[in-house]
Amino acid sequence: MIGGRRQLSGRKPGDRRVRIERPHSEYFRYAGPGVLVAKEKAHVERRPLPHAIAQLKRVLIGRPLSSESDLEERLSKRKALAIFSSDAISSSAYATEEILHALLVGGAAVLFFSVPISIAIAVLLAIVAFSYRQVCLAYPSGGGSYSVSKRNFGRLASLVAASALLIDYTLTVAVSTSSAVEQITSAVPDLLPFKVGMGVMAILLLTLGNLRGVREAGNIFAIPTYLFVGTALTMIGIGLYRIVVLGDVSAAPQIQATADLATQAALAVLLLRAFASGAVALTGTEAIATGVPAFKPPEARNAATTLMVMAGLLAVLFIGITVLATNFGIVPTEHQTVVSQVAAHVFGDSSIGFYLFQAFTALLLFLAANTSFAAFPRLGAILAQDGFMPRQFSFRGDRLAFTLGIVVLGLAAAALVTFFGGDTSALIPLYAVGVFIDFTISQAGMIRHWLRERASQWQFRLAVNAFGCVLTGIVAVVVTTAKAPTSLVVIALIPVLVGIMLFIHREYDLVATELALRPDQVIGPPKKRERVIVPVPGLSRAVVQAVNFGRSISEDVRAVHVTEDAEQGAALRREWERQIPGVQLVIVESPYRSLVPPFLAYLDVMAPPDGETITIVVLPEYVPRHWWERLLYNQVANRLKQGLLGRPDTVVANVPYRREEPDLAMAQKPGTAPPG
Amino acid sequence: MPGTPLAAPFHRAVLGLNGGATDPLVVKLGCELARSFKATVVALHIVEVDWTHDLADDIASGNELAASVLDMAEGIAEKYGVTLETHLIQARDIGPALVDEAAELEADTILLGLPYRKRFGGDFAIGRTVPYVLENASAGVIIVREPIPATEAQALPPALAGTTSGPAS
């Protein structure tokens, strides 16, 4: 093969042919005239440290996926149900307990209200789910309530919705991991001192799992969700059989009321509080509407179907567990959760069924955080595309996941767990405040949507959303009041986040306006002339290379040498004139021994920005071969670069000089060190 | 007939590509067959060098069109999950170069496209290459014929109008 061509002879003497090497084919593929697509090999890091980091990333999160694999990475309804529903479905494990806890102050006599309350919450769930189903279909680009409020109310309301959601997603991760860790430490008290470390480790594992890509996360997290749903439905089935057929019904233990319920108003307040407490079951309902683009096509329809299946499952599990708990006379205790007592009653204490159910419940609580990992980065990406968050949030990483969103969520949640010492009860007052604000804004947005669109049956849909809006609004107020003053931190944080987002948007807008070209503008050749100035520390190969580069772009080239030693300056001038004739050398004597300020002053005086001349400062730079060499060389050049940052009509060009192998390099003259 | 293989099994196929409309058909068929036979595929594009140039002159390497013919094939093969080798050749005559290259690569099948020519009333431009390959190649040959456009098919006799593109060895 000579010059990439290899001569080959054919069967007949005249049938010669030449095989041509295609050097680009390893790295690029032509996709059209003048359009090249970089192949996987072109993305490989060549420098040692980034290469090592890339290899480590490959081990931890897998090999990079091309953008063409995006469709393959989309979620089927089955996997999406597991990924987006783990939060909502897991709440069926504790929502009943929350209602009973709230009712307990009224004594055993009011515990029977738990079933009607759970049905009322299921109705609210149906309304919210119905509303978000409409959101999925009407706003298929995702974003959920952010998109709804942006379209129907404008910027401010949409940012309030987005901030509330971002806060709640972060809290979901912190609360669910802390709660799962507490389940483990309840079983193994020796692990109690490692509570925070275990929580942080759990978040790290979830972060890594999600960085591997949405589909793979689905593979990892789908099984526990379905195992929980399967065993919980079995438990409800067996429990109902025992109640209806075998008549297995027990009365609740006698509990003295601690609150005065003499008036109807007091009872109403108690029931309202119980309703608000149980409404935590709704958290996570909005996640599917946020992540519509993660579904396989037809995205909107698949998301809407998955949402309804999720709501149906959640309602059945929630009402079922509440009915069983009420009929079996179960009340919350300090040592055992309500759902655990129900499982013990149905499957039998210490039975395999009981332990399996407990294990699956703990696992699901642990993975409930995963819903936030699916929704938070997508919302971040949408906000970034709209210019309200740094653009990096919309960049997809090697595995087509929104890397920065996942990492930021992981870090924020880990910080919360560390700050609150992994204590769930300390985190709970902050939880579920944002999501009800979000539900309310979303429902209100849908009311305006129906008023504007007036699609078929719009009056009915509007009525449903109006009813839902009032209910979720009341729950938002009750939840915030009941959990005050801690919950007010969230209320205070929302305007802070809105302010930050508005600031980012303003910055992006300002810069875009400054950088924009007028559409009618046609760019002609530059009218400015170039002037090259090369700061030289001495005479060396690096300097010669920089000077020659300067000569190739302009005829006006000056070398400037700042020195504290006049004699050394004169010696340099003699050598300069002999070895680089035709290039003017300016010696700047510096009796106060500083190097950078006199050079900058020289530029200001001798090459002031006049609007007609571009000053190109060419810096000779020595390329270090080892990391430690960076400490020895180019320090003055770096300071010069800093000094020239933002100078009008000035361009700084680095001309790197790579040291040749010792046998190839000519012997260097003494005293001509590389730029230092 | 359902279940009947489209072609005899092969180990290595050479796809002759000329940058025309039949190229995607040739590559898709080649990839489908290669996937079912677990065979390897080599895409070949031959740039004809006229007598005003020396055969060893660098004509094809900087030729974006020539490069894109093979890159297009590579892109299709990637979608099928088939590894495709690509060879760019300069020769005086395409037919002999294709046959010789296939022989050197020990290919047992050659796939070629036969384009439909709309001009002059519409016909199949069989040219010199296809007959040469059919007469001289030791490997099996599959010709992938371009479909006749629907508008022109109506004007043809019923027997011809019903035919569609497909491999013929």
Flag whether pLDDT at A85 surpasses 70. Answer: yes
Residues in chain B within 8 Å Cβ distance of A32:
68
Residue A395 near residue A311 (C-beta atoms within 8 A):
no
Of A4, A8, A10, the CB nearest to B61: A4
Does the residue A28 lie in any domain? no
Hey, is A75 helix, strand or coil?
A: strand
Q: Which of residues 91-120 of B touch A (CB under 8 A)?
A: 91-93, 96-97, 99-101, 103-104
Residue A356 to residue A361: CA distance in whole angstroms: 9
Is residue A390 a part of any domain in this protein? yes
Measured in residues, chain A has a length of 676
Average pLDDT of chain A, as a whole number: 83
CB contact set of A288 (below 8 Å; sequence gap of 6+): A80, A84, A85, A132, A136, A303, A306, A307, A310
Q: Are residues A320 and A267 in the same domain?
A: yes
Q: Please, how many CA atoms are within 13 Å of residue A518, restricted to the half-sphere of its CB?
A: 4
Give the separation between CA A465 and CA A127, rounded to whole angstroms. Answer: 7
- Of A675, A641, A671, A667, the C-alpha closest to A544 is A675
Mutate to test the interface with A, among B42, B51, B64 (most CBs of A within 10 A): B64
Helical (H) or strand (E) element with B168: strand B167-168
φ and ψ at residue B87, rounded to 5 degrees: -130, 130
Angle, in degrees to the nearest 10, between helices A433-453 and A155-187: 140
Tell me the CATH number for domain B12-168.
3.40.50.620
**Confidence at residue B164, expressed as pLDDT on a 0 to 100 scale:** 41
Using the Cβ of B90 and the Cβ atoms of chain A, whether some distance falls under 8 Å is answered with yes
Any A CB within 8 A of B50 CB: no
Q: What is the pLDDT of residue A665?
A: 46
Tell me which of B152 and A324 has the higher pLDDT: A324
Q: Residue A103 corresponds to which amino acid?
A: L
A34 contacts on B by Cβ (under 8 Å): 64
- Between B47, B67, B96, which is nearest A15 by CB? B96
Alpha-carbon span A487 to A167, nearest angstrom: 12
User: Per the CB < 8 Å rule, is B96 touching A11?
Assistant: yes
CATH number for position A618: 3.40.50.620
For A548-568, what is the mean pLDDT? Answer: 91
DSSP state of B119: S
In a domain, A216, yes or no: yes
Number of domains in chain A: 2
CB pairs under 8 A between A and B: 81
Distance (Å, whole) CA A480 – CA A276 = 10
Query: Is residue A455 very low, low, confident or very high in pLDDT (cuts 50, 70, 90)?
Result: confident
Give the model confidence (pLDDT) of A129-154 as tens digits.
888 888 888 888 777 788 888 888 88
Could you tell me whether strands B140-145 and A529-535 are parallel, antiparallel, or unpaired per DSSP bridges? Answer: unpaired
Domain boundary among A443, A474, A509: A509
More confident call, B2 vs B33: B33
Residue A352 has pLDDT above 80, yes or no: yes
- CB-based contacts of B114, cutoff 8 Å, min separation 6: B22, B124, B125, B126, B130, B143, B144, B145, B146
Nearest CB neighbour to B71, from listed A19, A21, A30: A30
Question: Is A614 part of a structural domain of the chain?
Answer: yes
Of all residues in chain A, what percent carry a pLDDT higher than 70? 91
Residue A261, domain CATH: 1.20.1740.10
Q: How far is A67 from chain B (nearest CA, A)?
A: 13
The answer to whether B68 contacts chain A (CB < 8 Å) is yes
Same domain, A475 and A539: no
Range of the domain at A613: 529-658
A667 domain residue, yes or no: no
* A521 domain-assigned: no
Q: What is the pLDDT of residue A669?
A: 47
Mean of pLDDT values over A71-91? 77
Do B87 and B118 touch, CB atoms closer than 8 A?
no
Which pLDDT score, from 0 to 100, does residue A175 have? 84
Same domain? A341 vs A434: yes
Q: What is the pLDDT of residues A392-412, one digit of tens each?
A: 998 887 777 788 999 999 999
CA-nearest of A309, A302, A339 to A142 is A302
Cβ B75–A31 below 8 Å, yes or no?
yes
Co-location of A502 and A568 in the same domain: no
Average pLDDT for B48-69:
82
- A293 pLDDT exceeds 60? yes
Q: Count of CB atoms within 10 A of residue A264's CB?
A: 8
DSSP per-residue letters across A313-336:
HHHHHHHHHHHHHHHTT----SSS
CB contact under 8 A, B100 and A24: no
What DSSP character marks residue A622?
E
Q: Which chain A positions have a beta carbon within 8 Å of B89's beta carbon?
A: 17-20
| A15/B97 CB distance under 8 A | yes
Residue A72 distance to chain B (closest CA, Å): 12
Grouping H, G, I as helix, E, B as strand and the rest as coil, residue A558 is: strand
CA distance B53 to chain A (A): 13
Predicted local distance difference test score (pLDDT) of residue A257: 58
Residue pLDDT, tens place only, B87-119: 999 999 999 999 999 999 999 999 999 988 777
**Burial per residue of B97-131, b for 16 or more beta-carbon CB atoms within 10 angstroms, e otherwise:** bbbbbbbebebbbbbbbbbbeeeeeeeeeeeebbe
Same domain, A544 and A505: no
Domain assignment present for residue A460? The answer is yes
pLDDT at residue A671, rounded to an integer: 46
